[in-house]
Structure 1
């Protein structure tokens, strides 16, 4: 360390050299709580001042000191604030999540409140956008999928963050993981109590959220769990547009007029707009509801993307009408699948997005591909047609084929040979892959939601970040497969065959 900072808020010259243990300006002790030494001022906000520090009690490891500043004119209110601070800090201390910096300590010293947290070396998303530019839709969806489980966790612990915004989400430099920082629970509880006891003596700089990111009920000091959902949605809008929500606010309705500043699919826009409902009764009530809604987006987009405007002339023959009926049935199947998914979510108690306003019976998703063969599949793919949904491809030999990004949604692929095939981001939604050979296949980020993989062989397959939600894995061979980051639960994995070489979703191998 090259300098040491004095933490006395009234110190006129807080920067000291490392040769002294008392501030040369005000004579305050420079070692906080007999172990923490502030070496760099990181920032200042409504909470107070944040410092990078060295923890001498942990072999000089880095940590963060957060100093909460309060006025002390009213001793009774001040003591009440201290009690609240300790109570709320205990709540934060129990949080244990890999995307939340650990609260290491909290205490009062010299009439100041302090929080000590783990240090995360990284850049906040506000700076990331200003330097690197706005997110496309795919990255914005990935952001939500990374952050919504964090909200699930903190809300399950009965904690509301109260100050979600780009500046309070860090991307760690080493791993690129996102971290949620600066919980507003402590500062809001303290500020509320001080204001109720003596409004004139309260330190009213302590915010209850950030304007534009905080919904109306939170600004009225009545936050609920879905207040964090609104703030996360507003953060996503910033990532998509590069504009602060307050600059997008409609002066008449108070809603965020964001859609003309970016280009996203209509179904994803519906999810974001429901996150941003001003009326808390119309907003998603839980992070789980948003996760379920996002699961539906790709299937709704596949349906919407398959629709084309047909103008049938008066001269259409009866044979043409018969063909229309055949192809309409495939569109109906996809619509039925989406409808069943919605019904399943509703039965589980989840709120789902509004139904897409499309005339399902009007138009087919694609013209049927007659007499498909392995060679025909490759030719279609080479020409840019990658939609092989609802096809019967049982027993096809597609070993080593490069089919990244193709769609085999709801197709029959029983016993198909896809060994060593490139299936990166390929869509196997509700496909039947029973007894399929997928040895050493590249299935990174593949969509395998509700896929039937019974007795399938996935030895050595790369399933990193694949979506296996609700997939049937009974007797599926996952020996040596890489499931790091995959969406699959333990109950599914218990039905499958694994070995010491299998890498599980947490990135670790399990030894029995």
Structure 2
């Protein structure tokens, strides 16, 4: 049942009838700024509270997030100072324009409390996701970094520092399974931080928003955050995703303050090296910029990604049976001592064995929702399964394995399928318009009558693929492995970019 929630922190009975305009318990106005009605409290912290709200002015009364900030300001001068800082902070938030960050809709002051109104990102936080489904695999954690790092790069590019990156502030959006970074109450830009420190000292706004203990690095807790502080917090978030433990629950070196996380996680040496550099207490040894992390992730050997990434389901927080753990330890030991070629062969054999087990143990019918959820939680092998007529428009599935999959009339428009494996897959009459298929493996795939208009097939391998009547108008085939006979079978036009990187005159 929808109620009208009173935002007065001292109200003894905040729930009211949805049609009331004044709280029957304390008399406070229930319509904020003559526009917004709070429906329920969804968060609380030292700075104030967060409410699910409703915009009464817009058609359909869409939901929104109302954040109430309560500065500790008793005298008029201090309140005026806090109001000035709040307006500066709101203008800072108003500059943010990114599809994976909630947009600022409004800000105002009412009854000596400050309010920010933002778009609602409906979904589940990564903290709750781990608590509900278990910890992530290494491969899923790397995918988390690959998606989060560009968001962080954008924030830093507009000279801002988030200062409170943690699993509870990252939502997996329900509609498309993409990650959304929330709670910018802690964000600081360089100008505002300097103004606050020089003009106001430790005021209401410079006192809160120092970050969360365990996730924030030492320099941030000392009120000297830098871009690298967000990288440390992102590394700490990775530890939580891999272990289910907050950093403050991990042991640390009493002399250096470094987290002793290596004994808690089991990851490849290359990934451990990246995490270690993200989590350096000494700023001189930590990554300074987001691009440095991205570059190191891109340099990780592909065979190690296969070895670590072909996991059919995420690890659970509960400990594994002793026999299973010993078996995995033996496989890891053999892998470390084998050559690159044999590691790849062993990974493929292990994957086939897992596929056999999953067929006998997992009779649950797969749906578009379960596919996206399973992938988000670390599973990336969906070989030999049927996805006919699925609506996967806009899905984010890079490097997924759809070997021998069936996708007849499936909608993959605008999907990210970079480096995906579609060996011998059937895409008859599938819709792949504007899909990202760069470096995709489409060997011997059935693509007859498939709609690939404006798809990006840069570097894709189409050897032996059936392209009869496939619509490649406007598609980018630069450096794609495809022969002239295949192209003659397909439909192309003046906008098609051929493997030589050129268009042809018709």
Q: TM-score, normalised by structure 1?
A: 0.62
**Count of residue pairs the alignment pairs up:** 364
Unaligned runs of 5+ in 2: 309-336, 353-379, 382-398, 403-415, 422-429, 441-449, 461-474, 481-491, 497-506
- 1:163 corresponds in structure 2 to 164
Q: Is the 8 A contact 2:139 2:305 kept in 1?
A: no
Q: CA deviation at 1:176?
A: 0.9
Aligned pair partner of 1:480 in 447, 452, 475: 452
- 2:333 corresponds in structure 1 to none
Q: CA deviation at 1:446?
A: 2.0
Q: Give, in whole Å, the separation in 1 of the partners of 2:277 and 2:346.
A: 38
Q: Give, in whole Å, the separation in 1 of the partners of 2:39 and 2:150.
A: 34
Q: Is the 8 A contact 1:275 1:283 kept in 2?
A: yes
Instruction: Specify whether residues 299 and 178 from structure 1 end up closer, same or farther in structure 2 by C-alpha distance, changes over 3 A only.
Output: same
Q: Is the 8 A contact 2:214 2:248 kept in 1?
A: yes
Q: Is the 8 A contact 1:49 1:66 kept in 2?
A: yes
Q: Give, in whole Å, the separation in 2 of the partners of 1:300 and 1:48.
A: 48
Q: Give, in whole Å, the separation in 2 of the partners of 1:107 and 1:445.
A: 44
- 1:221 corresponds in structure 2 to 223
Q: Give, in whole Å, the separation in 2 of the partners of 1:97 and 1:29.
A: 33
Instruction: Specify whether residues 127 and 205 from structure 1 end up closer, same or farther in structure 2 by C-alpha distance, changes over 3 A only.
Output: farther
1:42 and 2:42 correspond = yes
Instruction: Specify whether residues 198 and 270 from structure 1 end up closer, same or farther in structure 2 by C-alpha distance, changes over 3 A only.
Output: closer
Correspondences of 1:416-455 after superposition (within 5 Å) = 444-446=417-419
Unaligned runs of 5+ in 1: 306-361, 368-378, 387-403, 406-422, 427-442, 449-458, 470-477, 503-512
Q: Give, in whole Å, the separation in 1 of the partners of 2:350 and 2:125.
A: 39
Q: Secondary structure at the match of 1:243?
A: coil
Aligned pair partner of 1:298 in 294, 297, 301: 301
Q: CA deviation at 1:172?
A: 1.2
- 1:277 corresponds in structure 2 to 280
Q: Secondary structure at the match of 2:92?
A: helix
Q: Is the 8 A contact 1:85 1:186 kept in 2?
A: no
Q: Secondary structure at the match of 1:58?
A: coil
Q: CA deviation at 1:256?
A: 1.6
Q: CA deviation at 1:86?
A: 0.8
Q: Secondary structure at the match of 1:261?
A: coil
Deviations 1:357-411 (A, max 9, x none): xxxxx997449xxxxxxxxxxx99997899xxxxxxxxxxxxxxxxx99xxxxxx
Q: Secondary structure at the match of 2:162?
A: coil
Q: Give, in whole Å, the separation in 1 of the partners of 2:292 and 2:272.
A: 15
Q: Give, in whole Å, the separation in 2 of the partners of 1:485 and 1:250.
A: 47
Q: CA deviation at 1:445?
A: 4.2
Q: Is the 8 A contact 2:102 2:118 kept in 1?
A: yes
Q: Is the 8 A contact 2:227 2:288 kept in 1?
A: yes
Q: Bigger radius of gyration, 1 or 2?
A: 1
Q: Cα RMSD (Å) of the superposition?
A: 4.3
Q: TM-score, normalised by structure 2?
A: 0.62
Q: Is the 8 A contact 1:67 1:114 kept in 2?
A: yes
